[in-house]
Structure 1
Amino acid sequence: MNKQDAPQYVRPKDIDDRSTFWQRVGWRLEAIAWDVVYWWPMKALGPDRASDAAGWIVKRIAPMLSQSKTVKRNLRLAFPEWDEDKIEQTAKAAWESVGRTAGELPHLPKIHPYEGDRVEVVNAERLDAVEAAGKGAVFISGHFANWEVMAAVICRRPVDCLVTYRALNNPHIDRRINKVRHDYGIGVLAPKGLGTRELMRALSKGRSVALMNDQKFNQGLAVPFFGHDAMTAPGPARLAVKYGVPIIPVSTVRTGPARFRVTIHDPIASAEGLKGDEAVEDCVKKITAFIEAEVRANPGQWFWQHRRWPKSAWKDAGV
């Protein structure tokens, strides 16, 4: 696909423009530590051993971090019927999943979705149908297992797709990660915050876009998530309604070290007769219901480290 012939790296300039001299020095030192302490050792281990090693390390260290409280509070809120042993086990599994994802990152080009036995793609023909239709789609997913795999499944089919990402403060590490993503087959990336115009332009030309829709967005819509209102971004739904394209959910499940099953699900559409904001809200609720169902199916593989609900929800639930 010609969109992937050369890397397209776009970085929000405001991050770098407001940095101080000492911040830039710190970024250089962080990049050196990134290479020496993390990247090169993980790369030397190979995909399976890197996944196992990083998962083991993070599972044992992370529970001592303050963010572990957030993980357990989120789990208690979502699963009030669970006892503390179940909460603790799932929290450790969630940390292990994050560690495995980090260990697998240097090896993404080896985790090919359509070559070898590392990735099983379910309903891949739905991707072919999107590309054949020529009008694009809005792919949505969440931070399940190693979420980087999902984007490669779409782009390597290939589907002409613009993928959003969150830019890191450190430009050197940000550039390194984006190079790995391009090597993995994700040729065109749009940073969040700068990407809205690019997403609209892509859809207007019949291209597809892919976004995560499972994290807190303070300016979003309050919709039920595990029985508690959570502020959710309406952007993906709004784009789909505006351009008349399907919303296609994608899920990723880890089946072993550096091994995954990625499923392309049935399209989501608003209820018949709804238009405008009503159609958008209906789609946001359905997307959130899809995310919840996938989290319930594999609770130890979702990113519980994020403060998905407002503090008031924790307070009301007594967690």
Structure 2
Amino acid sequence: MTDTPPAYVRPKDIDNRASLWQRIQWRLETIAWDVIYWWPMKLLGPDKASDFGGWVMTKIGPRLSQHKTTVHNLKLAFPDWGEDKINRTALAAWESAGRTAGELPHLPAIDPYTSGRVDVVGVERLDAINASRKGAVFISGHFANWEIMPAAICKRIPHAVMTYRALNNPHIDRRINKLRHDYGTGTAAPKGIGTRELMRALARGAPIALMNDQKFREGVAAPFFGHDAMTAQGPTRLALKYGVPIVPVSTVRTGPARFRVEIHEPFIPEDTGDTEADILRTVKRINDFLEACVRAQPGQWFWQHRRWPKDARREAGVI
């Protein structure tokens, strides 16, 4: 078995469908990425970049179309909250997203084990999984800066494989992918290519990690904050198929470019022989874990995506 992370893999259909004008736009976006965002943030240093990114997004975020989604999601999840608390949490969510953007160019300076900026709780569980060479399925969500968690895993388990959603812009996508590899995070592209890579990884005894908190249309309906949300069943299916534990992981921002990553107690999904019932039971358990993390730090979750279907939002009267 090799401890070398998988090579960069990009779904070719993204690029093959692009028109000439789209390719020109990608180039222009990349120039703007480098000149307006990346290098100015890089010059600030991790703490100031985190603060500045957070401040900027508290000004820009509420003006974006995603702000309405953020507010609607918060009202759906916390129906007993007043407008003031909803708005304050929505603003905190934008600040968290901005801090993440500011911190991205500084990931090498936020090494989970050598920088003094990250407290990793449960390292012994990572070491035990690494020593077992039997694989595991790590699950987490978009908490605080979600780039820190996979690095915390891969620095202790170099042969672990992380899922990765390719960006449309191939030039920026390659930049981010290189940064992740330099940071010590292995990645695998999604949409079929990633699924095969994850299965191969588990078959050879390598752990895998997936984000399980976003809408997945082909998933199963499972309660999340009291409302059914389409949730990916892939982590559970893989854990059952290969007989490996599911390991929940949480990340909390404790200051500018500072975090606590916790590796929670692993559990083996119950296998009663009724596959669909077993999957639904475990998906619910995963959603319960994610919901508890969000409730603990509601301003540090990525509320800006449409997690619940329109019917749930309509029934709750938040549309």
Decide: shared fold, TM above 0.5: yes
- Is the CA contact 2:244–2:268 (under 8 Å) kept in the aligned structure 1? no
Query: Could you state the TM-score of these two structures normalised by the residue count of structure 2?
Result: 0.97
Other structure's SS at 2:302 match: coil
Match of 1:103 in 2: 102
For 1:192, the equivalent position in structure 2 comes to 190
**SS at the partner of 1:300?**
helix
Residue aligning to 2:173: 174
2:245 is aligned to 246
- Following superposition, the deviation at residue 278 of structure 1 comes to 2.0
Matched, 1:279 2:278: yes
Aligned to 2:268: 269
Q: Provide the identity percentage.
A: 67
State the 1:4 CA deviation: 3.7
| Conserved 8 A contact 1:113-1:120 | yes
Distance 2:2 2:36 in 1: 36
1:159–1:208: 8 Å Cα contact kept in structure 2?
no
2 CA distance for matches of 1:4 and 1:257? 31
3-state SS of paired residue (1:280): helix
Counterpart Cα distance in 2 of 1:272 and 1:221: 18
2:89 aligned with 1:112: no
Distance 1:2 1:273, change over 3 A: closer
Q: 1:4 to 1:159 in 2, by over 3 A?
A: closer
Q: Deviations over 1:8-59 (max 9, x none)?
A: 2111000000000010011000000000000000000000000000100011
Match of 2:136 in 1: 137
- 2:190 partner letter: K
Q: Deviations over 1:59-87 (max 9, x none)?
A: 11110111100000000000000000000
Distance 1:181 1:152 in 2: 8
Which residue of structure 2 lines up, in the alignment, with residue 160 of structure 1? 159
Question: Counterpart of 2:222?
Answer: 223
Aligned amino acid, residue 128 of structure 2: A
In the other structure, the counterpart of 1:47 is 46
Change (3 A) 1:159 1:248: farther
Q: Which residue of 2 aligns with 1:15?
A: 14
Q: Show the counterpart of 2:124.
A: 125
Q: Which residue of 1 aligns with 2:83?
A: 84
Kindly indicate whether residue 255 of structure 2 is the aligned counterpart of residue 256 of structure 1. yes
Amino acid at match of 2:314: K
In the TM superposition, residue 2 of structure 1 has moved relative to its aligned partner by: 5.2
Q: Is the 8 A contact 1:59 1:96 kept in 2?
A: yes
Structure 1 window deviating more from structure 2 (294-303 vs 157-166): it is 157-166
Secondary structure of 2:223 counterpart: strand
TM-score by length of 1: 0.97
Structure 1 residues 178, 225: closer, same or farther in 2, change over 3 A?
same
Aligned length: 317
For 2:272 and 2:167, the matched residues in 1 are separated by 41
Deviation string, structure 1 residues 129-149 (Cα, Å, up to 9, x no partner)? 101111000000000000000
Deviation of 1:205 after TM superposition, in Å, equals 0.4
Equivalent position amino acid for 1:279 in 2:
D
Q: Which residue identity lines up with residue 189 of structure 1 in the other structure?
A: T
Cα-to-partner distance string for 1:182-205 (whole Å, 9 max, x where unaligned): 11101x311110201110011000
Superposition deviation, residue 159 in structure 1:
4.3
Residue type at the aligned position of 2:188: A
> Counterparts of 2:3 and 2:101 in 1: how far apart (Å)?
27
Q: Is 1:33 equivalent to 2:61 in the alignment? A: no
Unaligned runs of 5+ in 2: none
Describe the SS at the equivalent of 1:82. Answer: coil
Deviation at 1:3, TM superposition (A): 3.6
One-letter code aligned to 1:143: H
* Equivalent AA in structure 2 for residue 191 of structure 1: A
- The answer as to whether partners of 1:251 and 1:264 remain within 8 angstroms in 2 is yes
Q: CA deviation at 1:275?
A: 4.4
Going from structure 1 to structure 2, the CA distance change for 1:2 and 1:274 (only over 3 Å counts) comes to: closer
Aligned to 1:292: 291
